[in-house]
């Protein structure tokens, strides 16, 4: 899927690559540098944005943990679990679910 960013078309792969770079190529939850994945903070299935501001780097363990306990996590804020997220995403999270 290609989306436009300031007139530039960017693939999902490129957005994820940029998110990993932005996050210092570390899991934002535990700091691991191993088995990194990129997670959509607001799920795409729930109409979450596709841009890189809605992406966060997580290791495979933390990513799987998040999805196993997702409902419980939304009782706390995503930011309490993983650290700060962009303000617009934080606002959407506060109204999610």
Work out the pLDDT band at 86, boundaries 50, 70, 90. low
Mean pLDDT across 66-89 = 64
In this prediction, what percent of the chain has a pLDDT beyond 70? 63
Give how many domains the chain has, as a whole number: 1
Q: What is the dihedral of CA 38, 41, 45, 49, to 10 degrees?
A: -100
pLDDT tens-place string over residues 3-38: 544 445 789 899 999 999 999 999 998 999 999 999
Helix (H) or strand (E) holding 73: helix 70-73
Work out the pLDDT band at 74, boundaries 50, 70, 90. low
CA 79 from centre of chain: 11
Residue range of the domain that includes 67: 2-94
Q: What angle do CA 48, 83, 41 make, to 5 degrees?
A: 15
Token look-up 């995503």 returns: 78
């Amino acid at each position: 899927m290609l989306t436009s960013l300031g007139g530039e078309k960017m693939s999902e792969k490129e957005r994820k690559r940029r998110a990993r770079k932005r996050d210092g190529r570390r899991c934002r939850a535990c700091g691991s540098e191993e088995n990194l994945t990129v997670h959509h903070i607001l799920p795409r299935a729930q109409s979450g944005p596709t841009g890189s501001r809605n992406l966060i780097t997580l290791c495979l363990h933390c990513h799987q943990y998040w999805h196993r306990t997702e409902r419980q996590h939304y009782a706390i804020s995503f930011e309490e679990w993983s650290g700060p997220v962009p303000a617009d995403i934080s606002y959407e999270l506060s109204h999610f679910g």
